[in-house]
């Protein structure tokens, strides 16, 4: 496994941008780390780092190599998971990037349910917007991504796609709270809170208002749905969120109302992995569990497509 350690050291240097900093992180001397890299470059037949006045950075050859390294490490993890599964240990690690809306309710419940069956499996959960989640998959930082409105589907294997309507969120005493269904124009007549453009729900809102004479003039823009849920209780304001991130029946301070599809398109919630990558046993099983759970959610979710992993 000595060659694996060298690859891990190279990745650490690439991440830190400094041999000295990477040496501290990996508990090795700077001179020893520099020598390991130089020996590797000599054996590899090409330099992989540019030496800069204040550190190092990957050159084009190094960028190609780092993708290979990440793939090799991911493949080794997959084999380890298979070996553990054969022995009945069912260990492993699952890394998933997910939209913020999945964080408060859905993802904790699914991980707890999985670990109840497989307590030897650990998890890393990365809350990401759609572009950052895709980059995590490319860099092998996450095995899976579950995000709204991904932008580069051609690079990934889509395991499941679901639609969700956009909901308006407001305090119980808001003038719109008595209406069962709302139009977007009703919401925009009041102060409104929206996420930044990199968030999937903002993309849908921007598409909707592009065809309206009425425009968004948010009183606040925040990348936290938690902030939005608290803010609308302080002012007669309206926020927007997907229902999977809301406690639709258990919150006595807020009211949630679906916006009509003719006003705002439904959001696509997509479960995906890097194209061509073979997942570890633990990650593949968790992907299957997520797909089944999403398909069994109540009527605010509509099944569109499912591929067996």
Tokens coding 98: 């997910």
Same domain membership, residue 155 and residue 292: yes
Kindly report, residue by residue over 215-249, the tens digit of the pLDDT.
899 999 999 999 999 999 999 999 999 999 998 88
Kindly report, residue by residue over 185-201, the tens digit of the pLDDT.
999 999 999 999 999 99
Same domain membership, residue 272 and residue 151: yes
Same domain membership, residue 279 and residue 251: no
Query: What integer pLDDT is reported at residue 27 of this predicted model?
Result: 84
Nearest-angstrom CA–CA distance, 31 and 7: 17
- How many CB atoms are closer than 10 A to CB 180? 6
Q: Which of 66, 98, 120 delimits the end of a domain?
A: 66
In degrees and rounded to multiples of 5, residue 210 shows phi and psi of -65, -25
List the domain range (segments joined by +) for residue 200. Answer: 167-265
Query: What integer pLDDT is reported at residue 106 of this predicted model?
Result: 96
Q: Is the pTM of this model over 0.75?
A: no
User: Is the per-residue pLDDT at 30 higher than 70?
Assistant: yes
Q: Residues 251-264: what's their mean pLDDT?
A: 92
Q: Is 75 inside any structural domain?
A: no
Q: Is 272 inside any structural domain?
A: yes
Q: Is 238 inside any structural domain?
A: yes
User: 73-77, 80-84, 197-201, 281-285: which has the minimum mean pLDDT?
Assistant: 80-84
Same domain membership, residue 110 and residue 246: no
Q: Is 82 inside any structural domain?
A: no
Query: What integer pLDDT is reported at residue 303 of this predicted model?
Result: 43
Query: What integer pLDDT is reported at residue 241 of this predicted model?
Result: 96
Same domain membership, residue 157 and residue 122: yes
191 vs 13, which has greater pLDDT? Answer: 191
Same domain membership, residue 232 and residue 210: yes
Per DSSP, the three-state class of 192 is strand
Q: Is 183 inside any structural domain?
A: yes
Same domain membership, residue 61 and residue 206: no
Contact 292, 149 (CB under 8 A): no
Query: What integer pLDDT is reported at residue 83 of this predicted model?
Result: 73
Q: Is 215 inside any structural domain?
A: yes
User: Is the per-residue pLDDT at 88 higher than 60?
Assistant: no
In the chain, % of residues over pLDDT 70: 93
Same domain membership, residue 226 and residue 191: yes
Nearest-angstrom CA–CA distance, 228 and 238: 9
Same domain membership, residue 295 and residue 159: yes
Kindly report, residue by residue over 258-267, the tens digit of the pLDDT.
999 999 999 9
Q: Is 209 inside any structural domain?
A: yes
Contact 158, 179 (CB under 8 A): no
Pairing of strands 121-127, 92-98: parallel
Kindly report, residue by residue over 138-178, the tens digit of the pLDDT.
988 999 999 999 988 889 999 999 999 999 999 999 999 99
Same domain membership, residue 96 and residue 56: no
User: 59-68, 130-139, 183-192: which has the minimum mean pLDDT?
Assistant: 59-68
The CATH number assigned to the domain holding 159 equals 3.40.190.10
| Number of folded domains that form the chain | 3
Query: What integer pLDDT is reported at residue 3 of this predicted model?
Result: 66
Query: What integer pLDDT is reported at residue 150 of this predicted model?
Result: 92
55 sits in the region (left: phi over 0; alpha: psi -120 to 50; else beta) called: left
Pairing of strands 267-274, 156-164: antiparallel
The CATH number assigned to the domain holding 211 equals 3.40.190.290
Q: Which of 248, 265, 282 delimits the end of a domain?
A: 265
Same domain membership, residue 244 and residue 199: yes
Q: Residues 74-82: what's their mean pLDDT?
A: 73
Nearest-angstrom CA–CA distance, 297 and 46: 53
Burial 149-168 (b: 16+ CB within 10 A, else e): bbeeeeebbbbbbbbbbbbb
Q: Is 120 inside any structural domain?
A: yes
Confidence band, pLDDT 50/70/90 cuts, at residue 77: confident
Same domain membership, residue 9 and residue 41: yes
User: Is the per-residue pLDDT at 87 higher than 80?
Assistant: no
Q: Which of 265, 280, 297 delimits the end of a domain?
A: 265
């Amino acid at each position: 496994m000595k060659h694996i350690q060298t690859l891990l050291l190279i990745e650490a240097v690439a991440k830190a941008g400094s041999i000295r900093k990477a040496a501290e992180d990996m508990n090795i001397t700077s001179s020893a780390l520099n020598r390991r890299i130089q020996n590797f470059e000599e054996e590899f037949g090409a330099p992989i780092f540019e030496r800069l006045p204040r550190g190092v950075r990957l050159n084009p050859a190094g960028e190609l190599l780092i993708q290979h390294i990440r793939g090799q490490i991911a493949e080794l993890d997959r084999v380890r998971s298979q070996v553990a599964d054969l022995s009945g240990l069912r260990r492993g690690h699952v890394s998933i990037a997910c939209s913020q809306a999945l964080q408060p309710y859905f993802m904790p419940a699914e991980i707890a349910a999985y670990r109840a069956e497989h307590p030897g499996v650990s998890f890393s959960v990365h809350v990401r917007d759609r572009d950052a989640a895709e980059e995590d998959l490319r860099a092998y930082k996450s095995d899976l991504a579950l995000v709204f409105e991904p932008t580069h589907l051609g690079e990934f294997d889509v395991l499941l796609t679901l639609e969700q309507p956009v909901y308006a969120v407001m305090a119980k005493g808001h003038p719109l709270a008595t209406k069962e269904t709302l139009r977007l124009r009703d919401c925009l007549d009041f102060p409104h809170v929206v996420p930044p453009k990199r968030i999937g729900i903002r993309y849908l809102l921007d598409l909707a208002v592009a065809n309206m004479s009425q425009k968004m003039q948010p009183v606040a823009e925040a990348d936290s749905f938690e902030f939005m849920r608290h803010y609308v209780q302080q002012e007669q304001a309206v926020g927007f969120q997907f229902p999977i991130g809301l406690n639709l029946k258990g919150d006595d301070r807020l009211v949630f109302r679906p916006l009509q599809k003719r006003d705002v398109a439904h959001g696509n919630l997509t479960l995906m992995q890097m194209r061509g990558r073979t997942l570890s046993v633990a990650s593949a099983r968790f992907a299957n569990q997520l797909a089944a759970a999403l398909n069994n959610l109540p009527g605010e979710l509509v099944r569109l497509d499912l591929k067996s992993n």
